[in-house]
Amino acid sequence: MSNDKEISTPTKSRDSLPNKGNETPHNDDSGARKSQKEMTKAERRALQEKQRAEKEAMKQSSSSSAQKAKGGSHSSAKTIPSKPTVTPQPQTKSISSKEDKKPKQLGLFAHLEEPKGPLGTQIPKELHPAILSLGLQFSEFQISGSNARAIATLNAFKKVIQDYQTPPHTTFTRNLQHYLNPQIAYLVSMRPLSVSMGNAIRYLKYEISILSIDLPDEDAKELLIERIDQFIRDRITVADKMIVDFGLQKIQNGDVILTYACSSIIQSLLLEAHAKGIDFRVIVVDSRPKFEGITLMKRLVHAGIKCTYVLINAIGFVIKEVSKVFLGAHGMFSNGALLSRSGTAIVAMMAHHQKIPVIVCCETYKFSDRVQLDSFVYNEIGDVEEVASTDRPSATANVSPIRTQNSALVDWKSIPDLKLLNLLYDLTPSEFITVVISEVGMIPCTSVPVVLREYRPMVQ
**DSSP letters of 30-92?**
SSPPPPTTTS-HHHHHHHHHHHHHHHHHHHHHHHHHHHHHHHHHHHTTTTTTHHHHHSHHHHH
- Residue 29's CB: how many other CB atoms inside 10 A? 4
Mean pLDDT of the chain: 82
Query: What is the three-class DSSP state of 111?
Result: coil
pLDDT at 120: 56
pLDDT at 117 over 50: yes
The pTM assigned to this predicted structure is 0.74
φ, ψ of residue 292 in degrees (nearest 5): -70, -25
d(CA 256, CA 296): 16
Per the CB < 8 A criterion, the answer to whether 460 and 144 are in contact is no
Least confident of 55-59, 270-274, 323-327: 55-59
CB 280, CB 254: distance < 8 Å:
yes
- What pLDDT is stored for residue 105 in this prediction? 62
Higher pLDDT, 226 or 101: 226
pLDDT of residue 263: 96
Confidence of residue 37 (pLDDT cuts 50, 70, 90): low
Distance CA 320, CA 403 (A): 33
| pLDDT at 403 exceeding the cut of 70 | no
Q: What is the mean pLDDT of residues 21-41?
A: 54
Which pLDDT belongs to residue 194? 94
Q: What is the pLDDT of residues 318-356, one digit of tens each?
A: 999 999 999 999 999 999 999 999 999 999 999 999 999
Percent of the chain with pLDDT over 90: 57
pLDDT of residue 69: 55
pLDDT tens readout for residues 80-108: 444 444 444 444 433 344 444 455 667 77
Across 128-135, average pLDDT: 95
